[in-house]
Structure 1
Amino acid sequence: MTAAAAARQILTRLHDIMASRMHAQGKLDAVVEIIGEALDSEVCSIYLLREGMLELFATRGLNKAAVHVTRMALGEGLTGTLVANNETLNLAEARAHPDFQYRPETGEDKFHSFAGVPIVYRERAVGALNVQHVDPRKYEDVEIEALQTTAMVLSELIGNAELIDEEEVGATEAQTGPVTVEGLSLVSGIAAGHAVYHQPRVTIDQVVAEDIEMERQRVYRAFDKMRDQIDGLSQQAEFGKGGEHEEVLETYKMFAYDEGWSRRINEAIDSGLTAEAAIERVQQRTRMRMREIDDPLLQDRMHDLEDLANRLLRIVSGQLGTAASQGLRRDAILIAKNLGPAELLEYDKRRLKGVILEEGSLTAHVVIVARAMGVPVLGRVRGLRGIVREGDEILLDSDAGTATIRPTPQVAEAFDARFAKTKERQAAYAELRDVEPFTRCGTRIQVLMNAGLRDDMANLPLVGADGVGLFRTEFQFLVSATLPQRERQLRLYRDVLDAAGDKEVTFRTVDIGGDKAVPYLASGEAENDENPAMGWRALRLALEREGLLKAQARALLEAGAGKRLRVMFPMVSEPWEFDAAKQVFDDQLAYLRKQKKLLPDEIQYGAMLEVPALAEVLDLVIPKVSFLSIGTNDLTQFLFAADRANPKLAARYDWVSPAILRFLRRIVQATVGHNIGLGVCGEMGGRKLEALALLGLGIRRLSITPVAVGPIKELVRQVDLKEIEQAMTGFLASPPASLRDALENWAKERGIDTQ
């Protein structure tokens, strides 16, 4: 039996029950019997949320005496867990689950398998629909989908019969005083404005279809309208042509025209659901898949699909109002669970000051677009609907990863002062744009910027960087639906070099794989990596897929025609890897010579030192390279065995610690007397105190985020290298209890601003 047929069989019988004059309890009792029979299930039970506890309301197969007696808290037992997490459970052996709890009054000790789905009402799980069997077995997809469809019908029944407390669902104004929430900085910056919810809740009034063909036609018309909207949005971007955000929109458009998605919605309609319920049904399945996917990039693509589903649901229901369509009447901080790139583009840039998301990640498409728009974004802030009311004043500090809702006058005043000070400092940094960064003792320090998008190159003249010390070529791969062809790569690299003019650009060859996976290059090895950051990624993957590196090598060589080309290979751990990568370029160079193509005037090859093993063979590597660039982000996490994304390990991920600084000093000392360039291209170099330590170790080249160029230039002009070198020698010879505190005090005594 198909999922549609199974659900249709259940819905046909449920329709009569819902239309009957039977009291609510009788309807629930009838529902569990129908589901149990349809799925040949020995147990079917319904739990509902009452007074903050989940209560057994109806059952087939468990002891009837347990009805309205068995209660559990959210997060307690399997049922409490699936409701608290709003997730589906499918277990062959229930007792093996860490959250399993045995309730003797139910008589469930003889049952092994368990499947449960949440009953969702107004976007919140308010109950659970469970089935159990004596024999251990995993439930088929057809059974799970039938349960989920039934749970949607139950939510309508439950709401109409007032079986749950409205306060359990809609207590969105529980907090009225000031509160500060924390999240993940996705796009840096600070902003102030009033809370605007991106998406009013879409209410589905009818779940069961009266006329299936009519519902199908409603969906077809909605798809046509949605696709027209997406096509129109791609022509409305206000921040220039040719940027990677256009590739983001192309990928987004690909989802809008995906036949598989529309087919799944049609199948849900075939099961007997209305158009609205069918879209929501498929959307629930998408959310389930998102929870099962560990790959952050694929999760982000699923977010794009959910964004489209929300748009389609609003169209088909006629509930079209969003904050964007209604217009922003004052400075706004946008609040959303998640946001798609197309939806962000609908907002007035003059009024949209910031975005706060309940979800979101650094690789999300919307983040790339927000960065291009210059809008700060704070993500992974949980429970916003229970904290923020429409119109609340919000002070967003994405730099610090916080947002203050309904601030006190004193907090608002302090924020305004900081905002004004930030503007003043930015103006002061702007004045340093054309000033060369010489130290007090007269040494010229190279301050370059990192980039990864075509649009980033506009920052080069604005901040006065010496060039681009790290151009991350993988961004083009991450935002593309398919492998970027050589011609597209060539256009990007040529545009970047043209924008740089006489200033240098160092291109890092593609660093994908691991935690930067792309679906079109999926491999069994990468998918099974338990430690993606240390897995099959970067140069390892590129050397395995020689065609990938060949295409990039040729694109870079052709783009650099008549210019100096700098190429850097990521994650080199042994000398032979550098040799193999350079050989790919040499082969392409020979091919282009035969074709009588114009070639670069000079080519410099370098390696990123981010794998500690490479430091042990520097004597073998140095003769081969023109330059080395220390990638402090990966190097530090490898050295400390501390994942930088894990908040529990944040204290161990310290750049101003004797271990990492001594390690870096060894690298500097190993290059003394050799004619190679040495620099740092990680986040460490963009922080004032850390940059001060690097100068004391002998680092004279820093490649950092554009926003950090001004502050680091200011720092350089305050430093005497002999003084800081002597201080660092002392600190590392006999480390103080806190080297960070000692260095801060040393700088303060000399009037050096490290904040």
Structure 2
Amino acid sequence: MPLSAASSAREILTGLHEIMAARGTPQSKLDRVVDLIATALRSEVCSIYLLRDHVLELWATHGLRKEAVHVTRLEMGQGLVGVIAEEGRVLNLAEAAEHPQFVYRPETGEERYHSFAGVPIIRRESTIGTLAVQHAEPRRYADVEIEALQTVAMVLAELIAAARLTDGVGRRRARSSGMVRLAGLKLVSGMARGVAVFHQPRVVVEHTVAEDTEAERARVYAAFRRMREQIENMTRDAEFGTAGEHREILETYKMFAYDEGWARRINEAIDSGLTAEAAIERVQQRTRARMQEIDDPLLKERMHDLEDLANRLLRIVSGRMGTAAQTGLAKDAILIARNLGPAELLEYDRRRLKGVVLEEGSLTSHMVIVARALGIPVLGRVQDIRHLADEGDVILLDGDQGSLAVRPTGHMISTFEQRMTMSQRRRAEYAAIRGKPATTKDGLACQLMVNAGLAEDTAQLENSGADGIGLFRTEFQFLVAATLPGRESQYRLYRQVLDAAGDKPVVFRTVDIGGDKALPYLQDEKDESENPAMGWRALRLSLERSALMKAQARALIEAAGGRTLRVMFPMVSEPWEFDEAKQLFEKQIEWAVQAKRPTPAKIEYGCMLEVPSLAEVLDLLLPKLDFLSIGTNDLTQFLFAADRADPRLAQRYDWLSPAILRFLRRVIRQCREAGVPVRICGEMGGRPLEALALVGIGMESFSITPAAVGAIKAMIRSLDAGAARARLEQMLARPPRDFRRALLEWARKQEVVLG
């Protein structure tokens, strides 16, 4: 059935408008609706299933047996109709019976129909039913047909809600008046207390069918102009508006605001007969559907940015701009939102905004990058927080533990405040030793460096008293950019970092992308393997994409002009990989000399030991290295075959296992014998008890998160390294059953400060 999505949808919407305005029972109206849709789409079958008491019931049909109406029922997730309703997604099948969830209902007489397409009927972000069409001919439905169905389903939701025919899958849980504990994903660490403030009330689209298409189009154009003006102002006035990754984040955000494709899709929805609000919501529904199908967290984050803008546009066009940022924060607040964009976060008064809680959110979120720079704790993936908390409820947010309490008891508040006071006291103690050396009681000098990834992170060198940057993750610039960063952009970042570090060393790790850090603008580099952490990533990918690595090499070489450049290659498995990477850099130095470009006074090459195989050929590699860094995060999961992201394996992923400590001790000794400096990079070195064990097996250099420097320095200054090494030798020779507890008891007896 060849058709235009807009014209067919407009024809149906005009008829729906008349049906909704006419007199009659809800049943008679729905009977007329399915006839109307079937005729307009030239469909042999059109059926509407509505959700009542969590069961999908056939309410109206054109083409199936009428006696099946109110008789055929499907559970959520049962049959094709149930799958659509439960997952909120479209199904488009040439052979319906071949789908694994297909369920045959003989009373419907549908056995002669092969093709099937269905879309969810959504009201206020909840699925309340399913709209389906069927044909005897086996074929997939065209995109324009699906588009028309989705537009019609949106308007149907208004009719169904007005008639109160469904209870909806998204019925809110009754809010409790008592205390509620919730867990979430730690996005930005820290502790905060404040009252619950909702970022924005949801704009509910009440009127979907337009009476004057051109008037609706004019409203959207005006809203676009105002929204773009707001984004321009935020970009100009933002605290990060001059340089760094935050500038790039806002530029990416602005790029979406000026995206003509987005504006065109909204225009097309208006052409189909929708109001301005309904057109924006229709395109937003399509974005949400796409997000469900996307596995790539970075591309998903781009979709979140687009939805953030759609919410802003919807508020403008509906005249409901009263977000909490606009009305102002009267008290210390914990902001609650389904999701939050970086520009929206920057609108808040940072003196009052103490923390953020999201129902969604991810570690790669642009908003999280900004929040971390502002020092605002963020907890993500807190299910139903918007339904379990009321505006003004007291909330205790523990970003360190990944939990929060809503309406806490007086005892809980008192305990929480004591912990906050202790945390502040500890920070004061760490600040007092910031300028003192990380030297043990018996005189062993240790080196404490920090991990970084943003230009702004260099401020942590002075704040923490660190000795330098032991790991600068260059891929962060790639992850937050909308397009591949060019050599000039990379040069500016690396130069800025080196200038800010001054005389302190900076170790640049070449870009580690691929695997679970896929870039949407490099589509063919996405790792489709079942274990992306062990897939086509890091140096493996960079050696294949030599142009990408050459650009980075030239940027680093020029940025370090006249200074020492320290380069580290990630995920080296065999010596030849290091050789190829070093050779690539050496050739770029030759190019820079010939082109009369700035070159480093000296260049030091190192690599990361993350892949266990490298330990077996260290004797071949060490003579070529200026330094070695041990990446404990990946190394440990590879050694134990235990995915560190899987909570079921948490007890098996223990850094105080004799297996990992013996492995590390062997590597440390081998490096010492070869005269090659070795450093620990990763979370293991940032935990006081684990760092104690590392000192005990001979480690003297650490690169850790800036927040951990104070605690590790305090531990080192309270430790007798000789006693620790003697104790670790005993424990590794005859490991106790509970290694962690045994070491903890020894540390307490020795009065080691563990924070």
Measured against the shorter chain, the TM-score band is over 0.9
Tell whether the 8 Å contact from 2:515 to 2:535 is kept in structure 1 after alignment.
Answer: yes
2:721 maps to 721
State the Cα distance separating 1:717 from its structure 2 match. 1.6
Q: Which amino acid aligns with 2:51?
A: L
Tell whether the 8 Å contact from 1:204 to 1:277 is kept in structure 2 after alignment.
Answer: yes
1:450 maps to 451
Separation in 2 of the partners of 1:364 and 1:173? 31
Is the counterpart of residue 50 in structure 1 residue 61 in structure 2?
no
State the Cα distance separating 1:111 from its structure 2 match. 4.5
1:582 maps to 582
Q: Which amino acid aligns with 1:61?
A: G
Separation in 2 of the partners of 1:415 and 1:132? 59
Separation in 2 of the partners of 1:280 and 1:239? 31
Tell whether the 8 Å contact from 1:74 to 1:83 is kept in structure 2 after alignment.
Answer: yes
1:192 maps to 193
For 1:363-402, list aligned pairs within 5 A: 363-402=364-403
Query: 5+ residue gaps in structure 1?
Result: none
Aligned residues: 753
Structure 1 residues 626, 82: CA separation in 2 closer, same or farther (over 3 Å shift)? same
Question: What TM-score results when the alignment is normalised by the length of structure 1?
Answer: 0.96
Separation in 1 of the partners of 2:387 and 2:200? 15
SS of residue paired to 2:674: coil
For 1:421-432, list aligned pairs within 5 A: 421-432=422-433
SS of residue paired to 1:207: coil
Separation in 1 of the partners of 2:423 and 2:79? 50
SS of residue paired to 1:369: helix
State the Cα distance separating 1:5 from its structure 2 match. 2.6
Is the counterpart of residue 125 in structure 1 residue 121 in structure 2?
no
State the Cα distance separating 1:254 from its structure 2 match. 0.7
Structure 1 residues 231, 714: CA separation in 2 closer, same or farther (over 3 Å shift)? same
2:306 maps to 305
Tell whether the 8 Å contact from 2:516 to 2:527 is kept in structure 1 after alignment.
Answer: no
Is the counterpart of residue 558 in structure 1 residue 558 in structure 2?
yes
Cα deviation digits, residues 683-712 of structure 1 (max 9, x gap): 111112221222222111110110000011
State the Cα distance separating 1:620 from its structure 2 match. 1.2
Q: Which amino acid aligns with 2:674?
A: H
Q: Which amino acid aligns with 1:149?
A: T
Separation in 1 of the partners of 2:167 and 2:42? 32
Structure 1 residues 632, 485: CA separation in 2 closer, same or farther (over 3 Å shift)? same
Separation in 1 of the partners of 2:156 and 2:246? 42
Cα deviation digits, residues 648-669 of structure 1 (max 9, x gap): 3333322222332232223223
Q: Which amino acid aligns with 2:697?
A: L
1:467 maps to 468
2:620 maps to 620
Q: Which amino acid aligns with 1:54?
A: L
Tell whether the 8 Å contact from 1:172 to 1:389 is kept in structure 2 after alignment.
Answer: no
Is the counterpart of residue 23 in structure 1 residue 25 in structure 2?
yes
Larger deviation, residues 648-657 vs 317-326: 648-657
Structure 1 residues 697, 113: CA separation in 2 closer, same or farther (over 3 Å shift)? farther
Is the counterpart of residue 273 in structure 1 residue 274 in structure 2?
yes
For 1:149-298, list aligned pairs within 5 A: 149-165=151-167, 171=172, 173-238=174-239, 241-298=242-299
Structure 1 residues 410, 90: CA separation in 2 closer, same or farther (over 3 Å shift)? farther
Separation in 1 of the partners of 2:548 and 2:35? 58
Separation in 2 of the partners of 1:332 and 1:140? 49
Tell whether the 8 Å contact from 1:172 to 1:385 is kept in structure 2 after alignment.
Answer: no
Question: What TM-score results when the alignment is normalised by the length of structure 2?
Answer: 0.96
Structure 1 residues 154, 432: CA separation in 2 closer, same or farther (over 3 Å shift)? same
Tell whether the 8 Å contact from 1:239 to 1:372 is kept in structure 2 after alignment.
Answer: no
Structure 1 residues 746, 144: CA separation in 2 closer, same or farther (over 3 Å shift)? farther
Separation in 2 of the partners of 1:639 and 1:91? 44
State the Cα distance separating 1:539 from its structure 2 match. 1.4
Query: 5+ residue gaps in structure 2?
Result: none
SS of residue paired to 1:714: helix
State the Cα distance separating 1:526 from its structure 2 match. 2.7
1:434 maps to 435
1:733 maps to 733
Is the counterpart of residue 526 in structure 1 residue 526 in structure 2?
yes
Separation in 2 of the partners of 1:169 and 1:596? 65
Structure 1 residues 402, 110: CA separation in 2 closer, same or farther (over 3 Å shift)? farther
Q: Which amino acid aligns with 2:645?
A: A
Tell whether the 8 Å contact from 2:175 to 2:389 is kept in structure 1 after alignment.
Answer: no
Separation in 1 of the partners of 2:530 and 2:462? 42
Structure 1 residues 12, 188: CA separation in 2 closer, same or farther (over 3 Å shift)? same
1:675 maps to 675
Select 1:5's aligned residue among 4, 7, 22.
7
Separation in 2 of the partners of 1:74 and 1:104? 19
Is the counterpart of residue 486 in structure 1 residue 491 in structure 2?
no
Separation in 1 of the partners of 2:370 and 2:384? 25
State the Cα distance separating 1:253 from its structure 2 match. 0.6
Q: Which amino acid aligns with 1:742?
A: A
SS of residue paired to 2:232: helix
Tell whether the 8 Å contact from 1:612 to 1:639 is kept in structure 2 after alignment.
Answer: yes
Q: Which amino acid aligns with 1:128?
A: T
Separation in 2 of the partners of 1:649 and 1:227? 47
SS of residue paired to 1:673: helix
Larger deviation, residues 321-330 vs 45-54: 45-54
Tell whether the 8 Å contact from 2:510 to 2:569 is kept in structure 1 after alignment.
Answer: yes
Tell whether the 8 Å contact from 2:338 to 2:386 is kept in structure 1 after alignment.
Answer: no
Separation in 2 of the partners of 1:20 and 1:697? 83
SS of residue paired to 1:193: strand
Tell whether the 8 Å contact from 1:359 to 1:380 is kept in structure 2 after alignment.
Answer: yes
The CA RMSD measured in Å over matched residues stands at: 2.0
Larger deviation, residues 551-560 vs 252-261: 551-560
Tell whether the 8 Å contact from 2:337 to 2:386 is kept in structure 1 after alignment.
Answer: no
Is the counterpart of residue 656 in structure 1 residue 656 in structure 2?
yes
Cα deviation digits, residues 5-63 of structure 1 (max 9, x gap): 33223223222212211221111112222223333444332222323433322223334
Cα deviation digits, residues 401-432 of structure 1 (max 9, x gap): 11111111111111111111111111111111
1:70 maps to 72
Structure 1 residues 322, 542: CA separation in 2 closer, same or farther (over 3 Å shift)? same
Separation in 2 of the partners of 1:751 and 1:242? 46
Separation in 1 of the partners of 2:304 and 2:715? 41
Tell whether the 8 Å contact from 1:173 to 1:388 is kept in structure 2 after alignment.
Answer: no
Q: Which amino acid aligns with 2:501?
A: A
State the Cα distance separating 1:479 from its structure 2 match. 1.3
Structure 1 residues 488, 207: CA separation in 2 closer, same or farther (over 3 Å shift)? same
Separation in 1 of the partners of 2:198 and 2:81? 31
Separation in 2 of the partners of 1:401 and 1:63? 53
1:631 maps to 631
Separation in 2 of the partners of 1:652 and 1:62? 56
Q: Which amino acid aligns with 1:305?
A: L
Larger deviation, residues 503-512 vs 106-115: 106-115
Structure 1 residues 32, 639: CA separation in 2 closer, same or farther (over 3 Å shift)? farther
Larger deviation, residues 529-538 vs 417-426: 529-538
**Seq. identity, %:** 63
Separation in 2 of the partners of 1:30 and 1:380? 42
Q: Which amino acid aligns with 1:8?
A: R
Structure 1 residues 604, 122: CA separation in 2 closer, same or farther (over 3 Å shift)? same
Tell whether the 8 Å contact from 2:184 to 2:403 is kept in structure 1 after alignment.
Answer: yes
SS of residue paired to 2:526: helix
Larger deviation, residues 450-459 vs 70-79: 70-79
State the Cα distance separating 1:170 from its structure 2 match. 5.4
Tell whether the 8 Å contact from 2:235 to 2:247 is kept in structure 1 after alignment.
Answer: yes
State the Cα distance separating 1:105 from its structure 2 match. 4.2
Is the counterpart of residue 148 in structure 1 residue 150 in structure 2?
yes
State the Cα distance separating 1:444 from its structure 2 match. 0.7
1:513 maps to 514
Cα deviation digits, residues 457-479 of structure 1 (max 9, x gap): 11110110111100111111111
SS of residue paired to 1:605: strand
1:499 maps to 500
Separation in 1 of the partners of 2:134 and 2:739? 59
